[in-house]
Amino acid sequence: MQPNHAQDKAIVAQSAIHVYFLITPEVHLLDLAGPIQAFHEAQLIHSGFVIHFVGFDSEVTSRQGMGISGLKLPPAELPPHSIVIACASRYHVDIYSDPASQKSITWLKNVPRKDTTLASLCTGAFLLGKAGWLDGRECTTHHTLTAQLQRDFPKANVVSDRIHVKSGMVCTSAGVTAGIDLCLDIIEDRAGAYCSIAVARELVVCRRRMANDPQISSHLSFRNHISPFIHSVQDYIACHFNEKLSLARLSSQFRVSQRHLQRLFKTYTGMTVRDYIAELRLEEARHIINRGETIERAAHQAGFNAAASLRSAWKRKYYSLPSQTSTR
């Protein structure tokens, strides 16, 4: 099923998105490989992604002993809206004190633009910290190193037991496979929910959150199943949830009976089609309200038939109405 969601189309029409993996000595292979694979799969869907592997040594030896060669020097100037990913290296008390890492720190201090996204994988947070990017920001790293990160960078607000944290232009992630979750989130921001969903499916991963994390994106919830048919239905809903969307329309679109569709959908997702659509609409409305729009405008843009329907759904899920309830 090809996406035709207007927002995703607009994102796809944008210019190239350059992604720079900044690789330092003793890099951990799994921390590096998962995010690279995520952006590679995204590149196959969204041709705008351009991936670069950079470092101040043309060859490095990974912590696991495998050599990595062919690295290019980081550019003296970044293209607009680039993504720079600081990859994880083995932690020790002198981490990132080698010459190549010191050059990386200097580069990180001077080259990123105001519109650059800076991301770190696991101990890559220490590299961003040494470049001054964690001061005054929430951030995280591997759960065994959060206390050390706070000691090293007392101006940072280090949070523990989080998969990843976004604070302005800076994104940090916990250890190992958490980097995949962070990259899926960045892919969704840059290329739309459809692209991120497709990448997650290709990698056979589900988006994870711990109990005290921000709410999981409903676009990527309820996808931890292996039914291609129901995934296709969910893809269609993701592209049309803000329209008049009913069980009858879906059953006609996919040429199955309403009863059969409802039964399969609940079997694989654990919820009804109607409730799933409401989840997507409610999340979209929440984002719109957070941008400063009124409840009435949010209801219309998210696909609710009236503001009262949004208020009712909001109370069922969040128990209290959003603070901004005035009309313009």
The CB-based long-range contact list for 297-301 (8 Å cut-off, 24+ gap) reads: 297/328, 301/242
Residue 290, Cβ density class (10 Å: 0-12 exposed, 13-18 middle, ≥19 buried): exposed
Query: For 77, phi and psi rounded to 5 degrees?
Result: -145, 130
Tell me which of 238 and 216 has the higher pLDDT: 238
The 10s digit of each residue's pLDDT in 22-74 is: 999 999 999 999 999 999 999 998 889 999 999 999 999 999 999 999 999 99
Q: What are the structural domains of the chain? A: 6-203 (3.40.50.880), 222-328 (1.10.10.60)
The confidence score (pLDDT) of residue 50 equals 96
Whole-model pTM above 0.85?
Answer: no
- Residue closest to 157 by CA, chosen among 140, 182, 141, 180: 140
Predicted confidence band of residue 219 (pLDDT cuts 50, 70, 90)? low
Query: Cβ-count burial of 154 within 10 angstroms (0-12 exposed, 13-18 middle, 19+ buried)?
Result: exposed
Q: Is residue 208's pLDDT more than 50? A: no
CA-to-CA distance for 28 and 61, rounded, in angstroms? 10
What average pLDDT score do residues 304-318 get?
87
Q: What is the pLDDT of residue 27?
A: 96
Instruction: Check pLDDT > 90 for residue 328.
Output: no
pLDDT of residue 164: 87
Q: How confident is the model at residue 320 (pLDDT cuts 50, 70, 90)?
A: low
